[in-house]
Structure 1
Amino acid sequence: MPPCFVWRNVSEKNDGANRDVTKRSARERLQAEREQQKKKDKRRRALVVGGAVVGVLGLAAVVGVIAANTGKGDKTAKGPVAAPSGATGKDALAIQTGKDGAKSTLTVWEDFRCPACKAFEDNYRDTLHDLENRGLLKIEYHLVTLIDGNMRGTGSLNAANAAACAQDAGKFGAYHDVLFVNQPQETDDAYSKNAKLLELSGKVGGLDTPAFRSCVENGTHNSWVAKSHEAFRAGKFKGTPTVLLDGKDIFGDQANPLTPQKLKEKVEANAGVTPKPSASASASASPSASSSGKSGSTAKSGTTRSSGSSGTSGSSGSSGASVSSPGSKTVSKETTED
């Protein structure tokens, strides 16, 4: 029988070998776990970086959408300048009424919210219509947004755009008169509401059409109106209305104030027409008229007026609009905001 110590030494060797295998297996497992953890960490970092990139791209996309939609639905004076049909003058910033062959040209800068402009129109409307219809005078209207700057709001801009839309339809003259006859109080920005402007278009036959409504609601000519106002500022005019006859200011001389009769005589003289006594002149010369100092005539419904160079005419859009007799009062100007 072999000695016992021999078996004991073999057993110890086996135990040592087993321990070595166990240690090696533990190290291998630990190494494998570390490698697996490294892979997990790498994947996590990739996901974090990828998420950040997606977030940046998403933010860029949102910013792009916001930028792309900035200004959509904005009806203020932005976008390309679209002059109305038949616009004339420098940079096509004027709308002409009357016949091209007229000897005299009246240049008028006015604002549809301006009370002084309304007073001018009410005082001179009949005389201007008469001179235009006789082929003696053409008028170049330049639209201004002075009151929007002074009183805040967008009524001047929106009304001017609507008037330009009426020019597209060949009905500027009639709609122009309707806007002044129905002008709200200066502090009431009623013309900022397109619904009001569309309602008034119903007073001009054939104007309230889908094309006109679209033009008004989209602010088609807003940028053109803004450019017209900038031309007014560049001209350093003192206020509205500014009225020039053949380039000469005839409305701002307080020492020798203009009257409808004086304007008529000047225009007739330019055309070589012998002046005829007018009913308004006779009325102003009568004692009763001069002593009362009040209005002696009214604007008539159905007064014809040429609309632009096309010669289209239309109704003035109102009956019974008060027009003061010549010299009954001095029409003041709405001064500039500068």
Structure 2
Amino acid sequence: MNQKNHEGRRSARERLQAQRAKEQARARRSRQVIVAGSLLAALAMAGGVAVWVTAAGNGESGTDNETARPKQAGGGDRPAVPVGAPDAPSTLTVWEDFRCPACQQFETGFRKVTHELEDSGQLKSEYHLVTIIDGNMGGQGSLNAANAALCAQDAGKFRDFHDVLYSHQPPESQDKFADKQYLLRLAGKVKGLASPAFTKCVNDGTYNGFVRKSDDAFGKSGYRGTPTVLLNGKDLAKEQSGRVTPAVLKKLVRAANKGKKPGSVSPSASTPAAPGRGAAAGASASPHAKRAGAASASPRTGAVPSP
């Protein structure tokens, strides 16, 4: 009888611990919604563009060790993919998720100016790939798309394929990037990318561990929404009262680089990827209801001003 009572008390304790864990997770999500809302207000760009910020949810991060690293990618505690001249005087740090609508809007609106600055040796970009939407919405499209982009890095085609992925981003609720065959078809839009090696890398999930380590780093970074964009370590959400346009970004880079020598640009610069949905330099958005763990934009729409 005593044994049964002991078992009963232990079971009750376990249920209580599980309930407390759920309540703590719910509280964390609530705090993240508030933080995401403040980021949203700061990141709203001039020109009346509605910008979404996706907040980190309570999805469990992978625990895989980094077992493989793409060519020229940075390792350590914050794995990243570099784009542009390594010795460029300014650095743009971007934390993003290929399923994130806000990331698509940022990348679409700022693509022209970031490419221009990279190709002129003024700016190098460092991309940290995360999987927030997989955690919040379920699925593995964020993971699979990030792995495919890293496979493209091995072929020297990261920037091109990165842009194709955003130009063909499915609706947030549709986990289309989970389909590896779809990712392989998109690779056909980048000249010279499709190959047996790329196909094997995508199908094998070669860089899943690298992506998960990057996602873990995001969780420990203190940042709560994507995209998180920093110029030379300064959060652009806090620059120019948060109203940063492509023209303002160019101005900030030029000011930071004044008197400094541009980086050495490789003659084999990335060629433009095949155009697709959202490939223009402008972006627009309509407000829509978001799930718990994310914030929606104010009801304004418009185009990102050209630089």
Distance 1:310 1:93, change over 3 A: farther
Contact 2:129 2:214 in 1 (8 A): yes
Quote how far apart the aligned CAs of 1:324 are.
2.0
1:262 aligns with 2:248: yes
Q: 2:135 aligns with which of 149, 154, 166?
A: 149
Could you tell me which runs of 5 or more consecutive residues in structure 1 were left unpaired when the two chains were aligned: 1-75, 274-305
Q: Which amino acid aligns with 1:272?
A: K
Quote how far apart the aligned CAs of 1:150 are.
0.8
Distance of 1:241 and 1:210 partners within structure 2: 32
Distance of 2:258 and 2:69 partners within structure 1: 35
1:238 aligns with 2:196: no
Q: 1:322 aligns with which of 274, 280, 287?
A: 280
Distance of 2:273 and 2:247 partners within structure 1: 21
Q: Which amino acid aligns with 1:315?
A: P
Distance of 1:270 and 1:335 partners within structure 2: 39
- Which secondary structure does the structure 1 equivalent of 2:82 belong to? strand
Contact 2:93 2:230 in 1 (8 A): yes
Quote how far apart the aligned CAs of 1:329 are.
7.9
Count of paired positions: 227
Q: TM-score, normalized by length of structure 1?
A: 0.61
Identical columns (%): 49
Q: 1:125 aligns with which of 107, 111, 130?
A: 111
Distance of 1:214 and 1:268 partners within structure 2: 42
Quote how far apart the aligned CAs of 1:77 are.
7.3
1:112 aligns with 2:98: yes
1:12-91 matched pairs, under 5 angstroms: 78=64, 81-88=67-74, 90-91=76-77
Distance 1:310 1:133, change over 3 A: closer
Q: Whose Rg is larger?
A: 1
**Partner of residue 209, structure 1:** 195
Distance 1:203 1:329, change over 3 A: closer
Q: Please list every run of at least 4 consecutive aligned residues from structure 1 whose deviation after the TM superposition is greater than 4 angstroms.
A: 76-80, 309-312, 328-331, 334-338
Quote how far apart the aligned CAs of 1:256 are.
3.4
Distance of 1:336 and 1:78 partners within structure 2: 27
Quote how far apart the aligned CAs of 1:337 are.
5.2
Distance 1:225 1:269, change over 3 A: same
Q: 2:79 aligns with which of 80, 88, 93?
A: 93
Distance of 2:214 and 2:184 partners within structure 1: 23
Quote how far apart the aligned CAs of 1:269 are.
1.3
CA RMSD, Structure 1 to Structure 2 (Å): 3.0
Contact 1:98 1:311 in 2 (8 A): no
- Which secondary structure does the structure 1 equivalent of 2:108 belong to? helix
**Partner of residue 121, structure 2:** 135
Distance 1:252 1:90, change over 3 A: farther
Distance of 1:194 and 1:187 partners within structure 2: 17
Distance of 2:152 and 2:130 partners within structure 1: 16
Which protein, 1 or 2, shows the higher relative CO under an 8 Å CA cutoff with sep ≥ 6? 2
- Which secondary structure does the structure 1 equivalent of 2:93 belong to? strand
